[in-house]
């Protein structure tokens, strides 16, 4: 295209009016010249112009052809169509608003979830060649999953299918800078972790092999921690660092590209002691990078062979153990997979329902515009041109919807993230970026086609087929199509209602499930001492803090425990009972083995069911313990548990350390998602080594008063230690429920949105139907039909549609819900009550949606109706 033609095109585009008037002028000149010629041949002036025009042909068509030759018609027609549609929509703002709002909800929810799906499931590990990473899942003899072990890690490292294998765990450390303490997260690794995770340094170097073997206290900071805690100090290298009470040396800073493992502030080789662990212990996470030409299957085959050999070499510890390999990305994405897929599917369903609604509304508009379409056809509009005109409307709606939707998505993204499990990978990286926008726009295009094509096609076909014959009255054909659409909508909506109902019911059950402790009037805080704190120091610290807490004004009781209720278990081990053969299911079962001071039970409000509390631990005193009601029932169904002796099964052949059962406590839940209470043993605080202290205080004082007291009286005892903020157990309990609550709210909102959209769809269909049949109703009333009969017809129609929707929806819901079980609490996916409730809600909605059209039908005035049209 040369300059001249470009100029012409731009001129036709931007100086449209001028070009247009020139065209008119040019053609008029021709007509006048022709008329003048005819006049000169003796034809009357009045006839001359008419004849000139007749000879000339269809002026409008001709102009259109000229515009066509200027190759602007498509663009211009599009602009024109869009303008026309915008004007049309502006005339019925209600319909437009409903369409845009429902599309915005659908597109917004879907785009927001897509942005999370994109990072968390598609790219959960943000480092190069993440697809070559394998995750290790070890299984013990009893089939239970177990962590890795430094000795076996060494064995796995010999497999040729791996380029590098690393073992690691994360731990909290306390960073002390200028007297202030900050808790930071450490990655402790063994083996070539930097090769596995493709981490290189930006400053300095990685810890050397020798340093790792000597257990030197050297760290390499992650890039984010370097910037966050050290203001990107370029002279950080070789500076001493106070970490958990020891002096460390910074040897390097990782490059920003070293982004996995996430949420870690520094890397340090594992301490030497860890390598002394027996082959029984299992506490390492293990990952490997595959050798360039090796596949995961090859690695698995090699691992199977090696596991069989290890079982022979170490029969006591390794017999029956196995290693299962899988992609690391899959493992990382696992915790969030079901939630994300569920919500993505649900938001797609809402979008689909919205599209169906818009399609239904456009279909109705299309019927009302049949006369217009027929006129357009009569004036020479082609079928494509007509389809384009009708499509412009849905395009406009979809794009307005996608803009509003993307706005919604960026506003709601943070709230959405709360509904996902905390360990969802890369949650912070999920933003409404260009990928999400692209996705949203694609959705808008797809929905425009989905909503617009059928109505446009029908309008075009009808217009050219039937023309103006029917006098503009809407026909019946498309009401079958609309009925089908409404049924599909209801089926989708029921699926969402059931899914949402299951999640909401799960949340309600979880909130009502007995906690086993009394959160009112109780507050707690946590103090994590470094893992190498000597036992004596832990004991005196505990003692001092407990004494001061007990002396605080308002305190009724205070105690310490290894982990707060609902915050998970700590240690677990198989048990022995003196003089009793355990039932087979208890022989290898890991029983939660917890430590608490006697004051913990009254402080947390855990009732003593039987016997007495144990006395505080004394090295040479009698060993006492408490067991929970659940364990008492399981172990001693036929005898009094008090006075029985229980022990954790010793490793090797050491004699068991018996604890005499002093009492039985009520059950508590270890995790919010545990449905059955776990059997537990409580031993007195100090019986085992455990440096993480969780204090619980029950009293009349407000948590804020307690907090001030702790600041004044307890913090000075523990310089350089981090005391977590004090929170009431009520708040802590609510927090543990929060993910499920947010999830329930989100699912409920999506379900209700779909219900609302569905009601709207049904209402629009029935209202339109009633309006269309006004004349028929008028005749029927005139012939003696009673108003209730007419109303019943509309309601029957609504119910018939919802019955079909229910049948389809139930089938779909049962298929979909099966994947949800892991998200549910004490609720089966086939929960009849939930399904029944959902059906009831949908039918009520259908009745309500049919009520107004039914009333309108019943009130048909025969005179007015027959005058209609």
Q: Which is nearer to other proteins, 58 or 297 (CB)?
A: 58
Among 14, 24, 55, 704, which residue interacts with other proteins (rule: CB under 8 A)?
55
Torsion region of 219: left, alpha or beta (phi above 0 gives left; psi -120 to 50 gives alpha): beta
Min separation Cβ 392 and other proteins, Å:
24
Q: Should residue 68 be labelled a site residue for other proteins when binding is judged by CB under 8 A?
A: yes
Among 14, 15, 29, 160, which residue interacts with other proteins (rule: CB under 8 A)?
29
Among 2, 247, 384, 653, which residue interacts with other proteins (rule: CB under 8 A)?
2
Q: Which residues of 479-500 are buried (b: 16+ CB within 10 A; e: fewer)?
A: beebbebbbbbbbbbbbbbbbb
Count of positions on this chain that bind other proteins (CB under 8 A): 25
Min separation Cβ 31 and other proteins, Å:
9
Among 10, 14, 21, 22, which residue interacts with other proteins (rule: CB under 8 A)?
22
Q: Should residue 11 be labelled a site residue for other proteins when binding is judged by CB under 8 A?
A: no
Bridge-based pairing state of the strands 180-190 and 266-269: parallel
Q: Map tokens 């979880």 to a residue.
A: 510
Q: Should residue 65 be labelled a site residue for other proteins when binding is judged by CB under 8 A?
A: yes
Contact indicator for 168, 261 with CB cutoff of 8 Å: yes
Per CB under 8 A, which region of 58-66, 410-418, 652-660, 799-807 contacts other proteins? Answer: 58-66
Q: Should residue 71 be labelled a site residue for other proteins when binding is judged by CB under 8 A?
A: yes
Q: What's the sign of the alpha-carbon dihedral 611, 612, 616, 622?
A: negative
Per CB under 8 A, which region of 27-35, 204-212, 235-243, 461-469 contacts other proteins? Answer: 27-35
Among 10, 14, 44, 57, which residue interacts with other proteins (rule: CB under 8 A)?
57
Min separation Cβ 123 and other proteins, Å:
48
Q: Should residue 551 be labelled a site residue for other proteins when binding is judged by CB under 8 A?
A: no
Please write down the HEC assignment for all residues of 16-61: HHHHHHHHHHHHHHHHHHHHHHHHHCCCCHHHHHHHHHHHHCCHHH
Beta bridge partners of 391: none
Q: Should residue 15 be labelled a site residue for other proteins when binding is judged by CB under 8 A?
A: no
Q: Which is nearer to other proteins, 24 or 738 (CB)?
A: 24
Task: In whole angstroms, give the CA distance from residue 290 to residue 133.
Answer: 6
Among 21, 30, 158, 535, which residue interacts with other proteins (rule: CB under 8 A)?
30
Per CB under 8 A, which region of 54-62, 205-213, 305-313, 506-514 contacts other proteins? Answer: 54-62
Q: Should residue 5 be labelled a site residue for other proteins when binding is judged by CB under 8 A?
A: yes
Q: Which is nearer to other proteins, 69 or 91 (CB)?
A: 69
Tokens of 612: 């007495």
Q: Should residue 13 be labelled a site residue for other proteins when binding is judged by CB under 8 A?
A: no
Min separation Cβ 66 and other proteins, Å:
5
Contact indicator for 767, 513 with CB cutoff of 8 Å: no
Among 15, 21, 26, 700, which residue interacts with other proteins (rule: CB under 8 A)?
26
Q: Should residue 24 be labelled a site residue for other proteins when binding is judged by CB under 8 A?
A: no
Q: Which residues contact 245 (CB under 8 A, 6 or more apart)?
A: 174, 176, 530, 720
Bridge-based pairing state of the strands 727-728 and 692-699: unpaired
Q: Which is nearer to other proteins, 31 or 550 (CB)?
A: 31
Peptide bond into 102 cis (omega under 30): no
* Interface mask toward other proteins for 348-367; x: CB under 8 A: --------------------
Min separation Cβ 763 and other proteins, Å:
47
Min separation Cβ 49 and other proteins, Å:
14
Task: In whole angstroms, give the CA distance from residue 412 to residue 112.
Answer: 8
Q: Which is nearer to other proteins, 14 or 56 (CB)?
A: 56
Q: Should residue 25 be labelled a site residue for other proteins when binding is judged by CB under 8 A?
A: yes
Among 18, 58, 158, 278, which residue interacts with other proteins (rule: CB under 8 A)?
58
Tokens of 727: 């929170």
Q: Should residue 56 be labelled a site residue for other proteins when binding is judged by CB under 8 A?
A: yes
Per CB under 8 A, which region of 20-28, 521-529, 669-677, 794-802 contacts other proteins? Answer: 20-28
Q: Which residues contact 456 (CB under 8 A, 6 or more apart)?
A: 362, 366, 386, 387, 388, 389, 390, 391, 394
Please write down the HEC assignment for all residues of 558-597: EEEECCCCCCCCCEEECEEECCECCCHHHHCCCEEEEEEC
Q: Which residues contact 598 (CB under 8 A, 6 or more apart)?
A: 559, 613, 614, 615, 616, 684
Per CB under 8 A, which region of 55-63, 83-91, 215-223, 795-803 contacts other proteins? Answer: 55-63
Among 66, 78, 296, 453, which residue interacts with other proteins (rule: CB under 8 A)?
66
* Interface mask toward other proteins for 617-656; x: CB under 8 A: ----------------------------------------
Q: Which is nearer to other proteins, 28 or 83 (CB)?
A: 28
Per CB under 8 A, which region of 2-10, 109-117, 618-626, 821-829 contacts other proteins? Answer: 2-10
In Å, what is the CA distance from 691 to each residue of 135, 271, 510?
A: 30, 17, 31
Min separation Cβ 38 and other proteins, Å:
12
Provide the H-helix boundaries in 70-149: 73-91, 93-117
Per CB under 8 A, which region of 3-11, 116-124, 401-409, 638-646 contacts other proteins? Answer: 3-11
Min separation Cβ 30 and other proteins, Å:
5
User: Which is nearest to 468 in space by CA: 595, 370, 557, 599?
Assistant: 370
In Å, what is the CA distance from 472 to each residue of 368, 469, 568?
A: 7, 8, 70
Per CB under 8 A, which region of 32-40, 233-241, 404-412, 539-547 contacts other proteins? Answer: 32-40
At 199, phi and psi to the nearest 5? -100, 130
Task: In whole angstroms, give the CA distance from residue 626 to residue 611.
Answer: 9
Q: Map tokens 């070293």 to a residue.
A: 258
Q: Which is nearer to other proteins, 27 or 461 (CB)?
A: 27
List residues near other proteins by CB under 8 A.
2, 4-5, 8-9, 22, 25-27, 29-30, 32-34, 55-58, 62, 65-66, 68-71
């Amino acid at each position: 295209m040369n300059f001249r033609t470009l100029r012409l095109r731009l001129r036709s585009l931007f100086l449209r009016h001028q070009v247009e008037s020139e065209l008119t002028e040019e053609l008029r000149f021709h007509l006048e010249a022709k008329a003048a010629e005819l006049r000169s041949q003796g034809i009357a002036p009045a006839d001359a112009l008419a004849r000139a025009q007749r000879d000339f042909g269809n002026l409008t068509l001709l102009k259109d052809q000229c515009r066509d030759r200027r190759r602007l018609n498509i663009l211009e027609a599009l602009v024109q169509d869009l303008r026309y549609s915008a004007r049309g929509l502006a005339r019925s703002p209600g319909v437009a608003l409903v369409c845009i709002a429902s599309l915005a909800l659908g597109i917004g929810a879907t785009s927001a979830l897509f942005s999370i799906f994109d990072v968390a499931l598609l790219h959960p590990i943000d480092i190069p060649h993440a697809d070559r990473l394998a995750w290790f899942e070890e299984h013990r003899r009893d089939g239970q999953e177990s962590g890795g072990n430094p000795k076996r890690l060494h064995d796995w490292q010999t497999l040729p299918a791996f380029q590098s294998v690393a073992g690691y765990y994360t731990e909290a450390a306390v960073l002390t800078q200028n007297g202030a303490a900050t808790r930071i997260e450490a990655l402790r690794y063994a083996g070539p972790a930097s090769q596995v995770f493709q981490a290189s340094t930006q400053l300095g170097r990685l810890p050397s092999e020798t340093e790792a073997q000597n257990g030197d206290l050297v760290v390499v900071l992650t890039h984010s921690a370097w910037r966050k805690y050290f203001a990107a100090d370029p002279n950080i290298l070789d500076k001493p660092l106070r970490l958990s009470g020891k002096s460390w040396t910074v040897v390097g800073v990782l490059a920003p590209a070293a982004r996995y493992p996430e949420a870690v502030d520094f890397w340090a080789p594992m301490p030497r002691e860890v390598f002394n662990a027996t082959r029984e212990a299992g506490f390492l996470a293990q990952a490997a990078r595959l050798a360039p030409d090796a596949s995961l299957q090859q690695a698995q085959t090699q691992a199977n062979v090696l596991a069989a050999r290890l079982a022979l070499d170490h029969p006591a510890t390794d017999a029956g153990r196995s290693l299962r390999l899988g992609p690391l990305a899959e493992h990382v994405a696992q915790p969030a997979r079901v939630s994300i897929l569920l919500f993505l599917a649900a938001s797609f369903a809402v979008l689909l329902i919205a599209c169906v609604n818009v399609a239904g509304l456009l279909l109705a508009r299309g019927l009302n515009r049949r006369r217009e379409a027929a006129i357009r056809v009569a004036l020479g509009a082609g079928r494509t041109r007509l389809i384009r005109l009708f499509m412009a409307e849905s395009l406009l709606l979809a794009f307005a919807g996608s803009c509003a939707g993307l706005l919604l998505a960026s506003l709601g993204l943070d709230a959405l993230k709360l509904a996902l499990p905390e360990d969802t990978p890369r949650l912070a990286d999920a933003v409404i970026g260009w990928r999400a926008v692209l996705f949203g726009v694609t959705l808008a295009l797809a929905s425009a086609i989905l909503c617009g094509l059928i109505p446009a096609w029908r309008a075009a076909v009808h217009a050219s087929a039937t023309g103006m014959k029917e006098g503009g009255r809407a026909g019946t054909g498309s009401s079958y199509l609309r009925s089908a659409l409404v049924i599909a909508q209801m089926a989708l909506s029921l699926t969402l209602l059931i899914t949402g109902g299951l999640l909401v019911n799960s949340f309600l059950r979880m909130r009502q499930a007995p906690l086993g402790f009394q959160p009112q009037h109780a507050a707690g805080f946590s103090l994590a001492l470094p893992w190498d704190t000597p036992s004596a120091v832990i004991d005196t610290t505990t003692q001092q803090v407990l004494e001061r807490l007990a002396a605080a004004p308002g305190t009724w009781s205070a105690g310490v425990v290894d982990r707060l209720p609902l915050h998970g278990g700590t240690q677990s081990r198989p048990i022995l009972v003196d003089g009793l053969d355990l039932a087979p299911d208890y022989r290898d079962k890991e029983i939660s083995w917890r430590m608490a001071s006697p004051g913990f039970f009254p402080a947390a409000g855990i009732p003593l069911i039987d016997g007495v509390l144990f006395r505080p631990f004394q090295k040479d005193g009698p060993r006492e313990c408490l067991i929970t009601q659940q364990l008492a029932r399981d172990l001693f169904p036929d005898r009094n548990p008090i006075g029985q002796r229980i022990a954790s099964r010793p490793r090797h052949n050491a004699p068991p350390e018996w604890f005499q059962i002093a009492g039985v406590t009520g059950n508590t839940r270890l995790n919010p998602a545990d449905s059955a209470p776990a059997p537990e043993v409580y031993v007195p605080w100090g019986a085992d080594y455990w440096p993480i202290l969780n204090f619980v205080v029950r009293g009349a004082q407000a948590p804020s008063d307690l907090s001030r007291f702790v600041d004044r009286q307890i913090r000075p005892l523990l310089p350089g230690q981090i005391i977590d903020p004090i929170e009431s157990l009520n708040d802590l309990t609510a927090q543990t429920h929060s993910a499920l609550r947010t999830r329930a709210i989100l699912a409920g909102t999506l379900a209700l949105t779909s219900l609302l959209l569905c009601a709207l769809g049904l209402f629009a269909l029935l209202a339109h139907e009633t309006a269309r049949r006004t004349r028929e109703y008028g005749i029927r009333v005139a012939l003696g039909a009673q108003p209730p009969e007419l109303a019943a017809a509309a309601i029957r129609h609504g119910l018939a549609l919802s019955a079909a929707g229910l049948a389809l929806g139930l089938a779909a819901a049962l298929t979909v819900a099966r994947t949800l079980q892991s998200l549910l609490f004490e609720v089966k996916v086939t929960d009849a009550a939930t399904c029944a409730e959902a059906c009831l809600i949908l039918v009520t909605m259908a009745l309500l949606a049919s009520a107004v059209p039914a009333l309108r039908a019943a009130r048909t005035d025969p005179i007015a109706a027959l005058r209609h049209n």
